[in-house]
Amino acid sequence: MTIHREGYKSIAIGTSVFVLLNLLSFYIWSDHLPWLSWIIFLLTLGLLIFLISFFRIPKRAFTIQDNAIIAPADGKVVVIEEVQADEYFTDRRIQVSIFMSPLNVHVNRNPVSGEVLYSQYHKGKYLVAWHPKSSTENERHSVVYRTNGKEILVKQIAGALAKRICNYLKPGMQVKQCDEMGFIKFGSRVDLLLPLDAKINVKIGDKPQGGVTVIATL
């Protein structure tokens, strides 16, 4: 396991706060209230461990499959439905949404290999990620890929806690399946808009792994 580069600054700040709080705690209370110092130590250590684990990149054997759409994120499948596209596309699409809790790995990966046709950031609200309107009203970043003559859209959507979406893609780039496309800090969601003829391989409640699970085939 390694730590994602987006976490270096946050972990450095968290470690500094951890050290400072515990130095002050042991200096002030260790003689008279040692139990309180230990409680503060254990609570802050737990928060620091959580912060470090949030930015983890676990080692995985990625799934590389030409006709497959691989999960761009870890999480839980919360939506599978036919929708009217509201960005880039004008036709109807199959939407598959993956909710990412703060405990999930938050690296986002390219679901396919191909060309990036569109990459656009949108400012927005911070509704909870499972809210029906989060796809259209929250802060988000949308990317469209063309692969094997077909186009799919992936939305990185901020949640109530997420305040920063990182995306590394620009139009015209040629990308490889399962390479990093970006990162979302804290709870969030990823939507895929797929062609109607895509064969969906997951169901509501499934827990896909980013870069591993086949969401659909084209």
Helix axes 8-29, 34-54, angle to 10 degrees: 180
Nearest-CA neighbor of 61 among 216, 215, 217, 212? 212
In whole angstroms, how far apart are CA 25 and each of 32, 33, 126, 151? 11, 10, 35, 56
Nearest-CA neighbor of 189 among 78, 120, 100? 100
- What amino acid positions are annotated as catalytic residues? 188
Q: Measured between alpha carbons, how far is 91 from 63 in angstroms, rounded to an integer?
A: 29
Beta-carbon count within 10 A of 148 CB = 10
- DSSP-assigned beta bridge partners for residue 17: none
Contacts of residues 204-207 at CB distance under 8 Å and 24 or more positions apart, as own/partner, are 204/77, 204/78, 204/79, 204/80, 205/76, 205/77, 206/76, 206/77, 207/74, 207/75, 207/76, 207/77
Strand ordering across the sheet containing 107-109: 107-109, 180-184, 165-167
What is the number of residues in the chain? 218
